[in-house]
């Protein structure tokens, strides 16, 4: 694994906030789209629509997929695609179909905690003191946002699917950070991820759901939004963040997603946020700022150093 340089640029605030905002709009769009498709089939066409747009952009930019002989890069694409844009996206669709968009967004706040633990175990990452404080503040903010929703009736199955989606997303972030993908741009990396996910989900959707998709005009807009605006674009931004930051710092972006997800859900459904939710959102913002304030220190053991 390439070392984490203390001089590398920290992701800018606008990049982190834009990524979180676009992903935060995902949950309302997903719930609208799932009224016209089953989860596996929808995940396939969602990934396919995002892949189509990104591949066109990549072609215009003169980018081409890496040669098949570059097995290291292709393994990274396939592994991360399996974790993030396939497993996490499919279980997310199942979860959103069973819980409210706002609660689905709130549950995504668990991702940075999972990623921080995994990065500590596998990448030997150590946060500065302010980073640990930021994780704690962010966790408090997530709890504040979740409190009103969790105090009511919640689908246990939907909750479980959301936790699986969040955990596999964190594993994907840590895995991507540990892989040397310097020979491929973030744009092409995400485009190929979505191609792999679309094809694999198409097969599973045909087997288990009989390809259950209603190709109607009411399905077109939520499909475009969930596939391109809240998946292809922010995942490309997220890949850029991961290439510049530690896994823990990149994952901390997800602390902002519940806030934006709750706001978008409230605007869309007409449900106003409670005071504790606004306070929780403020805590999330402060937590992300603290986590990204100082670079992560990497602790390399003797055997880790020998592995290079």
Nearest of 2, 23, 13 to residue 228 by alpha carbon: 23
**Residue 10 in this model has a pLDDT that exceeds 90:** no
Structure-token match 């640029």, residue found = 9
Structure confidence at residue 292 as a pLDDT band (50, 70, 90): low
Q: What is the pLDDT of residue 113?
A: 79
User: In the chain, what are the domain boundaries?
Assistant: 13-299
Question: What is the model's pTM?
Answer: 0.79
Structure confidence at residue 123 as a pLDDT band (50, 70, 90): confident
Q: Percent of the chain at pLDDT above 90? A: 40
CA R_g for the chain? 19
Sheet strands (E) in 228-286: none
Residue with more model confidence, 210 or 274 = 210
**Residue 53 in this model has a pLDDT that exceeds 90:** yes
pLDDT digits (tens, 9 = 90+) for 149-190: 666 656 778 888 998 999 999 999 899 888 888 889 999 999
Residue with more model confidence, 254 or 203 = 203
Contact by Cβ (8 Å): 115, 174: yes
Structure confidence at residue 106 as a pLDDT band (50, 70, 90): confident
Contact by Cβ (8 Å): 295, 8: yes
Spatial separation of the C-alpha atoms in residues 250 and 115, rounded to whole Å: 9
């Amino acid at each position: 694994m390439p070392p984490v340089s203390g001089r590398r640029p920290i992701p800018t605030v606008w990049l982190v906030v834009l990524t979180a905002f676009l992903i935060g709009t995902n949950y309302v769009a997903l719930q609208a789209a799932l009224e016209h498709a089953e989860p596996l089939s929808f995940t396939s066409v969602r990934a396919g629509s995002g892949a189509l747009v990104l591949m066109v952009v990549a072609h215009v930019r003169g980018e081409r997929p890496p040669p098949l002989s570059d097995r290291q890069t292709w393994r990274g694409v396939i592994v991360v695609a399996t974790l993030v844009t396939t497993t996490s996206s499919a279980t997310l669709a199942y979860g959103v179909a069973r819980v409210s968009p706002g609660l689905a967004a709130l549950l995504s706040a668990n991702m940075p905690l999972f990623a921080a633990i995994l990065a500590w175990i596998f990448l030997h990452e150590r946060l500065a003191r302010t980073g640990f404080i930021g994780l704690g503040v962010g966790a408090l903010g997530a709890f504040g946002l979740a409190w009103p929703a969790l105090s009511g009736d919640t689908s246990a199955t939907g909750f479980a699917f959301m936790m699986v989606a969040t955990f596999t997303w964190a594993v994907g972030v840590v895995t991507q950070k540990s892989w040397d993908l310097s020979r491929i741009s973030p744009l092409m990396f995400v485009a190929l991820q979505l191609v792999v996910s679309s094809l694999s989900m198409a097969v599973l959707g045909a087997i288990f759901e009989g390809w259950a998709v209603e190709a109607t005009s009411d399905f077109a807009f939520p499909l475009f939004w969930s596939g391109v605006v809240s998946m292809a674009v922010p995942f490309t931004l997220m890949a850029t963040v991961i290439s510049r930051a530690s896994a823990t710092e990149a994952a901390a972006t997800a602390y902002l997603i519940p806030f934006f997800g709750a706001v978008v859900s409230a605007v869309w459904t007409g449900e106003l946020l409670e005071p504790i939710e606004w306070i929780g959102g403020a805590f999330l913002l402060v937590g992300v700022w603290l986590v990204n304030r100082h670079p992560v220190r990497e602790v390399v053991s003797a055997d880790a150093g020998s592995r290079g």
